[in-house]
Structure 1
């Protein structure tokens, strides 16, 4: 497979972009990333004209695939023709917020922002302002965007240069699916904890599902100590659990929820949703400052709202979840026969094969980190790409099914896994 154009573009990019990319994960494939020229349905075409079945799907935002239905395209084009943006409210912001509050069980009010990172930054600030406390409990290996309050490793150490140690002191990491650790951190710091920030499914670390009772433990601890429970649904929102999101699937009622990706229909977006009493603490109704020039951007609102309306009316979730079931079932057969030490993980339209060493499904991010990460990244993924299958950039990132995928794409992918493994 000729990829000379991608190589040459990366060579050029290294002179003008740090690391040759605008987001770190994009540089992860070795020896250089694939530059994409176009997308169609469940496929992408790279800069050299090679065509792949695409399971990256923009790292999650593309629920419908690369070819948008006419009604979604028309909504986007119509809004673009009216003017790029105004710095003033539009009716679309209200309609989109009403759709979200109508379908997501815990959400009574919404504040739109511009990225998942901005959503979690604002949610943490809101939780601190509402409770008058400073500390935040997070899950080790959970991901909540590129923000100072959550880029913290075990023992409260910053995970990146540039983050003051004084910031990390207020972040308390605990292992996912470890109720004893959660109890311990609340016993020690309960009166100072503003919020527990958790993904319902660890979806940026190989896909780790919650064990029975774990989220109930976090809910009870937050309630008992006057802290807020914040669910980060940037990845799972409007993908796991359909229109009710993961909180509908698992039957939970968080105080705040962060969104991104699908809620913007493929355009830059983030959102914070939650209870009216808490959300009204945002300015201008309250004192917790939050603002953004591009928040509620009319083109993004049109894309996100029409995407969700289409998904609601056209059985999108039945399609993508059905293909997800077929993928995981087929991959389980392949793994059982050829690599029983590996694990097939995922739910709904998320899937992944994690190169575990003992066949046990990972319980937390540490288990995924202990898997054969470099084998997946450096040996397996390039083989899949040579076979025309585009997987996520590393073993940690989720892979996503979209409405543009077909059963033929699934069958071809399973065959490629069997060949590469």
Structure 2
């Protein structure tokens, strides 16, 4: 496979971009494929290599790279009317109405410009609304590049996970293991009156996909209500991907107090949002005193792209198609893993999937048929990752150094490390799935 153009572009990029990229997850070893254009469910790199794409922009690309004509027409019409105004527009009201109509817990929305902005504002809002400072997060959870959540350790000793984050932030952030009810109960027993919120993804999406165990979210919901704290679901990744129009919270049957969204709701353009109950949301300025603002918030081109993408998904059975493809892909992966790498674990739900290179697990005979569901009766249950530590213990180097590159040579583009989820789009076909399974079979 010729990658000379990508190599030369990376060489140029290293002179003008730190590490040669604008986000560290793109820095695959020894250099990334520089993408020139997208075509349906495929991308073509600078050397003309064509790949079935499962990166999907790390989630935002729901409909594929060739947008439906009606979506393109709406975006072009908005661009022709002017890129932005710094004033309210009807389309931002329409997108907010769509979200509040379909997501059970959301009564009001504030649009921002990224998932990081959304989670940062949600933490500030929770602290402002409750008058408390401490926030509980999940070890290995990802909530963007913000100081309150770039924290590692445990409930007894937390520290910044990056230089530049003051230690004072760690003093008010309490990491606990995902799926560990005892740990979070102990935290509330010790600090219940100080905790403003529990911030969690419905599933850990930056840890190869770790599903919640039965009852875990219910425990979080009960504890936060009992102690007057807020439950925040970070649905930046799962929003309008898992659980269809109702998002992951509808799938799991939990109504958080606040929800953060991004990715899909922008239709491929930069966006973020915080949503929740009216009484909480009206604490934000100008209705309340908790400050939040942004020049590009509610950007009319982004609002148009997001609204038309979600309308198309709702009207054209996109979620049914994605669910069927996801079942087909994960079921095929379970069969391949059982035959060729029985210690590995297939995870995912709806349009998300991953194979985690878990070690020393039992044979997959009788494993969940379409990806781990944390079923305690499953023969593979003990080996399925329950938290970030379990994923970190997997053969992550093999994924990054060997597997990713071999799959790329097979014409399949995956996220370049063990920790990022893969995503399906509405443009993928059953034939793409079969070709992908053949690639997994050849490489594993």
- State if a TM-score over 0.5 links the two structures: yes
State the distance in 1 between where 2:256 and 2:199 align. Answer: 10
Q: Report what 1:21 is aligned to.
A: 21
Give the Cα separation in 1 of the matches to 2:79 and 2:299.
11
| Inter-partner Cα distance in structure 1 for 2:261 and 2:60 | 11
In the alignment, the residues of structure 2 paired with residue 93 and residue 122 of structure 1 have an alpha-carbon distance, to the nearest angstrom, of 19
- Which residue number corresponds to residue 373 of structure 2? none
What SS does the corresponding residue of 1:229 show, helix, strand or coil?
A: strand
Which residue does 1:88 correspond to in 2?
Answer: 87
Distance in 2 separating the partners of 1:148 and 1:170: 11
Indicate yes or no: 2:23 matched with 1:43: no
Query: Following the alignment from structure 2 to structure 1, what is the Cα–Cα distance between the partners of residues 434 and 159?
Result: 44
Deviation at residue 7 of structure 1 after TM alignment: 0.3
Q: Give the SS at the match of 1:88.
A: coil
Give the deviation of 1:393 after TM superposition.
1.6
SS in 2 for 1:153: strand
Partner of residue 296, structure 2 = 294
Distance 2:203 2:169 in 1: 26
* SS in structure 1 at match of 2:111: strand
In 2, Cα distance between equivalents of 1:253 and 1:330: 33
Residue number among 316, 326, 329 corresponding to 1:327 in the alignment? 329
**Which residue of the partner structure matches residue 176 of structure 2?**
174
Residue 216 (structure 2) aligned to one of 192, 197, 214: 214
1:361 to partner: Cα distance: 1.4
Return the alpha-carbon distance in structure 2 between the equivalents of residues 393 and 298 of structure 1: 33
Instruction: Write the distance in 1 (CA, Å) between the matches of 2:387 and 2:79.
Output: 43
For 1:358 and 1:241, locate their aligned partners in 2 and report how far apart those are by CA, in whole Å. Answer: 32
Give the superposition deviation at 1:358. 2.8
Separation (CA, whole Å) in 1 of partners of 2:191 and 2:208 = 30
Question: 1:387 and 2:410 equivalent?
Answer: yes
Runs of 4+ with >4 A deviation: none
Whole-angstrom distance in 2 between the partners of 1:235 and 1:378: 26
Who is 1:377 aligned against? 400
Question: Cα deviation per residue 1:233-282 (whole Å; 9 max; x = unaligned)?
Answer: 00000000000000111111100000000010000000000000000000
Q: 1:334-393 deviations in whole A, cap 9, x for unaligned?
A: 000000010000011100100000332110111000000000110111000001000012
Matched, 1:309 2:308: no
The 3-state SS of whatever aligns with 2:437 is: helix
Classify the secondary structure of the residue corresponding to 2:124. Answer: helix
Measured against aligned partners, the alpha-carbon deviations of 1:62-93 in whole angstroms (never above 9, x if no partner) come to 11010100010011000000001000000001
Distance 1:128 1:296 in 2: 24
Residue of structure 2 equivalent to 1:106? 105
Map residues 16-415 of structure 1 onto 2, 5 A cutoff. Answer: 16-27=16-27, 29-154=28-153, 155-359=157-361, 360-415=383-438
> Structure 2: any 5+ residue segments left out of the alignment?
362-382
Unaligned residue ranges in structure 1 (runs of 5+): none
Distance across 2 between alignment mates of 1:54 and 1:398 = 12
Deviation of 1:168 (Å): 1.0
Deviation for aligned residue 1:156: 1.1
TM-score by length of 1: 0.99
In structure 1, distance between residues paired with 2:262 and 2:158: 27
- Supply the distance in 1 between the matched residues of 2:252 and 2:16 (Cα, whole angstroms): 45
Is 2:3 the partner of 1:3? yes
Deviations 1:67-121 (A, max 9, x none): 1000100110000000010000000010000000000000000000000000000
Distance in 2 (alpha carbons) for counterparts of 1:123 and 1:248 = 20
Aligned length: 420
1:127 Cα deviation after fit: 0.2
Cα distance between partner residues in 2 of 1:262 and 1:119: 14
Q: Secondary structure at the match of 1:83?
A: coil
